[in-house]
Structure 1
């Protein structure tokens, strides 16, 4: 029985989360990158495209052991990310493996949408429960300029298909950019009027490779907050395993807006997620340094308790927050390296 079926039958009993840091934050949410490869050339992340590096990414059996180890420690939600996770041919198998992991109740995917219209039904059948699609503009010319691809119609078709498949949530992620912000607000508001999706604008974050672009395009998320408030949108209470977005609703719209504001005061106080890279390193903070290698403990002949203990031992070293406000991005060169 999959995690989704167990939930429906009322048979799951999530483990009390043993993952806690020195600041009292508890972690039920794992963001797992399964590849660094991306086929888009987004201006804020990979403007020159992906360049192959040495070393392989986690294999299916390693992902299974990793998911099991985190679930044993109380993780109930796993998000698959990249790079672009749909470039992996074994993605349906990865989704199914994670969905069948005891204790995992939600399996999410973040994708740029390039295979969405063709494959979203198969992902749903494999056990995917939540879907996020990165989509920075509903203007075809702007979309093509930002991503390097003219695929907007196909992605929108895929989103409409996804909205009819009974996902727990379908969300759109848009990076907040100075040149497109207000036009994008208006366009997405029209799109949300009769679609039960959530469009979350993410404040552009500085990385080691995008400094010039950041300086040119960064604006604070408060511009969207003011735009929403002036038009009668109101905040929605957060749930324990929600991501970092503050969502807004309006009685005249089927969908919601969301704001992810990493430069806001106290943003990190509610952190509830851990990250593992496609090469098996535990990242306690997106904008931290290095990582804790877990891959040597993912072999079939290794006692799974060793993996759990290494994860537990790492948690006390998690910092209270990032230093983005000080223009410090840790060692993060680009989002595709870690999974965002």
Structure 2
């Protein structure tokens, strides 16, 4: 573990404790939740240096031989879908477009995913050159991160002047017919003033905008609870231009609460990860780029599957280890509890 929170927790080598776990096939935890949404990080590398995620110098490079290969990722996707009840798969990073074999990863996964959705979260840089190949490989859904449409604010927030490149990626996704095209925006004090402009842009371009409360997963450890922008503050800040109403969730497991804009038909989503925690309904399981199961963003326990993959274990043994890892998932992130500790890994290292 490094001194600035970028370190990798030691993965479990022995099987986690499964005392009391019923003999069920799915990814059940001790709190009665069942994980069906699989997030797979493909790399910790990124083409941006967002202040809420990355240090200015970037994260330590994971050696190529420590990353899961396209074949290994597809095998874990197959086990997840066929044996463990996974039905939604999302590839994340870092920035997944930095994997030169991304289309192969999607294609191999689609081949064994048996109808599960395959999604990608990206910053959009370079997407215009790869969107057609990704769709042909089997990609079904797409989220693009965009926190502001102000070029100066974007450059300060990401430490890179790349807003035009992101916009080219968004335009390419729209032309390719991806719908809904979701745009993720992290709520920041620096960009709150421009939030209404981002809403107006989203409505004009027909994309589905979702604001996300910032969590303490930044590499610089600058997050302070008293300084974060809460969902309620966003609603108030938008009020002079947009009236938000009728908050609802169509899916109880969905992190985003949907709000109608000026009575509809347009809407935005707000993911209040901190102030309106949805941990009790969490249905996610995560794989890091190095092939460890991480049951919770804020839990440092990681269970190694890469060693099983490369050590000749059969699918049943891998599935059992995965089930055991999820059985021990913590109840929630615990940010409001005394003694709360940040996780050792940051968002860029864990995978969004």
TM range (shorter): 0.7 to 0.9
* Distance (Å, rounded) in 1 between the aligned partners of 2:163 and 2:86: 34
2:348 alignment partner in structure 1: 336
Partner SS state of residue 211, structure 1: coil
Is 1:70–2:84 an aligned residue pair?
Answer: no
**Residue 8 of structure 1: aligned partner:** none
Per-residue CA distance 1:281-315 (angstroms, 9 max, x = gap): 10110011131111122238431011111111222
CA distance in 1, matches of 2:142, 2:113: 21
Q: Quick check: 2:56–2:159 contact (8 Å CA) kept in 1? A: no
The Cα offsets for residues 40-96 of structure 1, whole Å up to 9 and x where unpaired, read as 111122131324345421111110111111112110111000111111100011111
Q: CA RMSD in A?
A: 2.4
Q: Distance in 1 between matches of 2:46 and 2:218?
A: 18
* Aligned residue number for residue 167 of structure 1: 178
State the partner residue of 1:235. 247
Tell whether the 8 Å contact from 2:37 to 2:285 is kept in structure 1 after alignment.
yes
Matched, 1:194 2:179: no
1:52 and 2:64 aligned: no
Q: What SS does the corresponding residue of 2:182 show, helix, strand or coil?
A: strand
Closer/same/farther in 2, CA of residues 298 and 166 from structure 1, 3 Å limit: farther
2:138 maps to 1:127: yes
Q: Which of 306, 314, 332 does residue 317 from structure 2 map onto? A: 306
Which residue number in structure 2 is paired with residue 151 of structure 1? 162
Segments of 5+ residues of structure 1 without an aligned counterpart are: 1-15
Q: Which has the higher mean CA deviation after the structures are superposed, 40-49 or 171-180?
A: 40-49
Paired residues for 1:259-274 under 5 Å: 259-274=270-285
What secondary structure, in the 3-state scheme, does the structure 2 residue paired with 1:100 have? helix
Give, in angstroms, the shift of residue 212 of structure 1: 2.6
Q: 1:137 to 1:253 in 2, by over 3 A?
A: farther
Give the distance between the partners of 1:300 and 1:241, measured in 2 at CA. 35
Q: In the alignment, which of 19, 25, 30 is matched to residue 33 of structure 2?
A: 25
Distance 1:78 1:175 in 2: 22
Name whichever of 28-37 and 250-259 sits farther off.
250-259
Asked if the contact 1:177–1:217 (Cα under 8 Å) also holds between the matched residues in 2, the reply is no
How big is the shift at 1:246? 1.3
1:336/1:19 Cα in 2 relative to 1: closer, same or farther (>3 Å)?
A: same
Residue 120 to residue 17, structure 1, CA distance change in 2 (3 Å): farther
- The equivalent of 2:187 in structure 1 is 176
How many corresponding residue pairs?
A: 323
Mapped contact 1:81–1:109 kept (Cα < 8 A): yes
